[in-house]
Amino acid sequence: MFRNATYFSILGFGVSALAWLFQFGIVRQSDIDLYYSFLEKDQIAPAFASTTHQMRQGVRKDIWFAQEDGSRLHYRIQSESSLLTLVPDKKKVEVIENLEKIKCWMQDKLYEGANAAKMQQIRFFEADQGTYQYTTQKFLAQTVELSLFRLADHILPQTLDPKTSFLKGIAKDVSFSVSGKLPHFQAQQFKAILKQQKEG
């Protein structure tokens, strides 16, 4: 009887040892994945523990919007310099770019003029300062000189002659969002001077 008790005790201890070894001694794939995820968080967190800044020169952004007819509207933002700021916000990072000496070309629409000639309507503005928010993909600027043009072709030009605009003026605030299929543009307190222009 003593032998049986010893035998069952050794057997029970052996089974317990195997269970413990299987539970804690064998590294599973889920454990490896969890380890690497913790390691990445530890490496990334210190990098964005505080606000980070980066100065940039000669900034240019080109943005396209696909239309239902297969055409694409083209936006171009240029600035002489900018300050890119990374702001940690809980588990994500807000990226904000403060732009200086801004020029912006925006195709409002592409259409056909007389004799089926390719035409485009362009909104162009200049501002001393503006802000581009990467998370929301929104642009904001104050005290903006705004002009509208009707020009030949569907290609956004590199330069524009101010004399050829059919409408121009000054807006106190301008904002547009580049998220989604259609851009959303707003100009607050816009004082315009309307000019007559013949379409091509």
- Residues 177 and 144 occupy one common structural domain: yes
Q: Is the dihedral of CA 191, 195, 199, 200 positive or negative?
A: negative
Instruction: Identify the domain containing residue 28 by its residue range.
Output: 2-44
| pLDDT tens digits for range 158-181 | 999 988 999 999 999 999 887 666
Instruction: Judge contact between 137 and 155, C-beta under 8 A.
Output: no
pLDDT of residue 145: 93
Beta bridge partners of 129: 100
pLDDT of residue 192: 84
Q: Give the integer Cα–Cα distance in Å for 159 and 162.
A: 10
- Residues 103 and 131 occupy one common structural domain: yes
In a domain, 34, yes or no: yes
In a domain, 200, yes or no: no
- Residues 37 and 58 occupy one common structural domain: no
Q: Give the integer Cα–Cα distance in Å for 170 and 151.
A: 21
In a domain, 149, yes or no: yes
Q: Which residue has the higher pLDDT, 194 or 140?
A: 140
pLDDT of residue 86: 87
pLDDT of residue 184: 82
In a domain, 199, yes or no: no
- Residues 88 and 150 occupy one common structural domain: yes
- Residues 73 and 98 occupy one common structural domain: yes
In a domain, 55, yes or no: yes
In a domain, 187, yes or no: yes
Q: Which residue has the higher pLDDT, 132 or 27?
A: 132
* Section 117-144 average pLDDT: 92
- Residues 117 and 180 occupy one common structural domain: yes
Q: Is the dihedral of CA 141, 147, 150, 156 positive or negative?
A: negative
Least confident of 15-19, 72-76, 85-89: 15-19
Question: In 3-state terms, what secondary structure has residue 72?
Answer: strand
Domain count, the chain: 2
pLDDT of residue 52: 85
- Residues 129 and 159 occupy one common structural domain: yes
Element (H, E) at 22: none
- Residues 38 and 55 occupy one common structural domain: no
In a domain, 88, yes or no: yes
Apex 132 CA angle, 83 and 50, nearest 5: 50
- Residues 55 and 37 occupy one common structural domain: no
* Section 96-101 average pLDDT: 94
Instruction: Judge contact between 101 and 66, C-beta under 8 A.
Output: no
Looking at residue 126, its amino acid is E
pLDDT of residue 24: 47
Q: Give the integer Cα–Cα distance in Å for 84 and 12.
A: 65
- Residues 164 and 70 occupy one common structural domain: yes
pLDDT of residue 21: 43
Q: Which residue has the higher pLDDT, 29 or 76?
A: 76
In a domain, 119, yes or no: yes
Looking at residue 55, its amino acid is M
pLDDT of residue 20: 45
* Sheet bearing 138-152, strands edge to edge: 52-66, 72-89, 92-112, 118-133, 138-152, 167-177, 184-194
- Residues 89 and 153 occupy one common structural domain: yes
| pLDDT tens digits for range 11-65 | 555 556 555 444 444 545 555 565 555 545 555 445 555 778 889 999 999 988 8
- Residues 38 and 58 occupy one common structural domain: no
pLDDT of residue 146: 93
